[in-house]
With several copies, the nearest count.
Chain A
């Protein structure tokens, strides 16, 4: 789950990381009021969950409250990468001396959290990593021991941070570690962390991603989820614990297991079709979950055929069959359905579906071939 900049920075502040004064606004008049409160120049920043807001014109500097109102109105009317801007953050403008990149994320190869910093802040950090990897400093953190002070010091020295800022940097590093570890973040990023002309370190921009698997211990964060930023089908899918990503093809896929789901998409493509989605119903799905999944797939009007590929293990084919029947009863689908059931309780599942008008398949290749043909209107 991604958090907005303003949400991330609110969390940062709780852990002692200095952020600019500012507040979020949903209307231009509100933005003006905030600008008046703050006094001086302000930055109006669109709050959408995609990168490249600056390049898209979604971040603007306003010299006074009136200009803030005008610019906020402009930005609130924008769409960035297809997402309408619903909120803007109004922050006091900082006089920047220099910029630092600073983050913590998971290093899966090292199986440890890694703290990343670079003196080349503010820039696209992937670009820095690709072109001048020596400018990126990485320090692994022992997950049982936590961040140690000397690690922050090592980073400060390695990015040539002037010594007068080391103490504050150390506090920010400790704060960022707490942000990361106490909120189950998969990413806690400050970019840029700036040195201001008046010699302060301030987190000018912030980004956080939270591990969806850890939401059970973060009721407070769950409330921060901005469902406006998701496709309604994805919100619905999450509600049922389904993993769903909408794509542009015509063959809906419902599969158990991420690997098999990807493989089913691959093979649909291999046989000349285009998958309409990635959908993993997960392990041990019951009939209600299957029914929900089917409704989600059919809510996509591009779908011309549906491929069910279930290889039972922890998932039982009879449960899946029951879910399909429930959903068919409710939704009355008009597109052809190709079903392949193998593994745990496959026999029972096939029996349950015997009366429903479905195309059956034995092998995966066979199922893919039949789906592609069905989507093209052939039997």
Chain B
């Protein structure tokens, strides 16, 4: 077992003919992901590498190929519409890799998809990897091996560090979920922790957080009250200068929370072992 993606995942790539879309489609195909369709407006009828049909819209792609998962490689100004489009086409799992989407756009997106039975992962995330089965997004496939560790992270490349560190000591992952670092995203820590808690393959969980927001604090509450599986964590940004992001009003809303020290404290109080640096994580999982 695994969570979210596996061998039955039928993927449509939104923005498949773009530079990044094409590169990572090939990487995904090479990894063994079942990429059934691509989508680029105006290029319907073309083929990618002579085996992936391209459609003019997600709806047409779904009708023709039964795609059940979408990954978005589309410039930030068009990505919100790509998410709406995938949601409207009935795709139940949408992974948005795109970075730099405007916050107000994401508020509209999130409030819209919350009305539908749709899970969005990201944006500004590296995607998903179920080692040995399927990879959706940009996580390099060769840095992780199959195993029993569930990995969830707000960061992109930092996630790779952790997967790689696990691999170096022979530890593998059930699924790795990059939820993305944007202030407004589709899936948060608690959503993924819950899935790992119910996934028989997952034995322990690694959670990679960072400064800002209160998601890690909520996760700590959830871990303390609902989780039976051990969780190991790392929080990035211990040395980050404070107040570089938002002014007055933001500080009011977040009630002064969001520092790395506070998050570490909350997690440790919930029984989570917190690593000093990512390469320390494997030893804490032993």
Contacts and interface: CB of A to CB of B under 8 A. Distances in A.
**Touch between chains A and B, by CB atoms below 8 Å:** yes
Interface of A: 2, 51, 103-109, 111-114, 116, 125-126, 129-130, 136, 138, 142-145, 148-151, 153-154, 157, 163, 166, 181, 184, 186-187, 189, 191, 207, 209, 211, 213-214, 216-217, 245, 247, 255-260, 262-263, 265-270, 275, 278, 282-284, 311-316, 342-344, 363-365
Contact of B56 (A126, A157, A207): A157
Interface string B2-37: 000000000000000001100110010000000000
A144 B157 contact: no
Given A105-B250, A260-B161, A269-B238, A365 B56 contact: no
B41 A278 contact: no
Contacts, number: 233
Contact of A130 (B27, B102, B164, B256): B256
A142 B102 contact: no
30 contacts: A103-B249, A105-B250, A106-B103, A109-B213, A111-B107, A114-B253, A129-B252, A138-B253, A150-B57, A157-B56, A166-B42, A184-B104, A209-B246, A213-B103, A214-B104, A217-B77, A256-B157, A258-B210, A259-B158, A259-B208, A259-B237, A260-B161, A262-B240, A269-B239, A311-B164, A313-B139, A313-B156, A314-B24, A314-B138, A342-B143
Interface string B56-82: 111110000000000000001100011
Contacts of B19: 284
Given A109-B253, A142-B111, A255-B157, 12 more contacts: A106-B184, A108-B213, A154-B60, A157-B57, A257-B156, A259-B237, A260-B160, A270-B276, A275-B239, A284-B20, A311-B160, A313-B139
Contacts of A149: 81
Contact of A342 (B27, B160, B256, B278): B160
Interface in B263-286: 276-279
A103 B248 contact: yes
Contacts of B250: 105-106, 186-187
Contacts of B160: 260, 311, 313, 342-343
Contacts of A105: 246, 249-250, 253
Nearest to A263: B236
B147 interface: no
Given A148-B84, A245-B241, A270-B277, A189 B103 contact: no
A343 to B, nearest CB: 4
Contacts of B157: 255-257, 259-260, 311, 313, 315, 343
Contacts of A142: 111-112
A214 B102 CA distance: 5
A282 B99 contact: yes
Nearest to B82: A150
Contacts of B99: 282-283
Mostly, the A contact residues are mixed
Given A106-B107, A313-B126, A314-B97, A209 B239 contact: no
Contacts of B110: 111
A262 B237 contact: yes
Given A153-B56, A214-B104, A344 B27 contact: yes
A108 B183 contact: yes
B211 interface: yes
Interface string B117-150: 0000000001000000000001110010000000
Contacts of A184: 102-104
Contacts of A129: 251-252, 255
A312 B140 contact: yes
Contacts of B24: 314
B244 interface: yes
| B contact residues, range | 35 or more
A343 B143 contact: yes
Contacts of B279: 363-365
Given A145-B108, A148-B81, A257-B158, A187 B214 contact: no
Nearest to A2: B247
B103 A136 contact: no
Given A143-B108, A259-B157, A311-B157, A342 B249 contact: no
A354 B139 CA distance: 25
Given A111-B184, A267-B277, A342-B164, A189 B248 contact: yes
A281 B240 CA distance: 17
Contacts of B102: 184, 211, 213-214
A260 B155 contact: yes
Interface string B166-182: 00000000000000010
A105 B107 CA distance: 12
A316 B20 CA distance: 10
Given A270-B277, A312-B140, A365-B279, A187 B107 contact: no
Contacts of B248: 51, 103, 125-126, 187, 189, 191, 207
A125 B252 contact: yes
A263 B278 contact: yes
Contact of A186 (B27, B236, B246): B246
A144 B236 contact: no
Contact of B253 (A107, A163, A284): A107
Contacts of B158: 257, 259-260, 263, 311
B101 interface: yes
B90 interface: no
A309 B214 CA distance: 28
A103 B59 CA distance: 21
Given A136-B252, A144-B112, A259-B210, A266 B164 contact: no
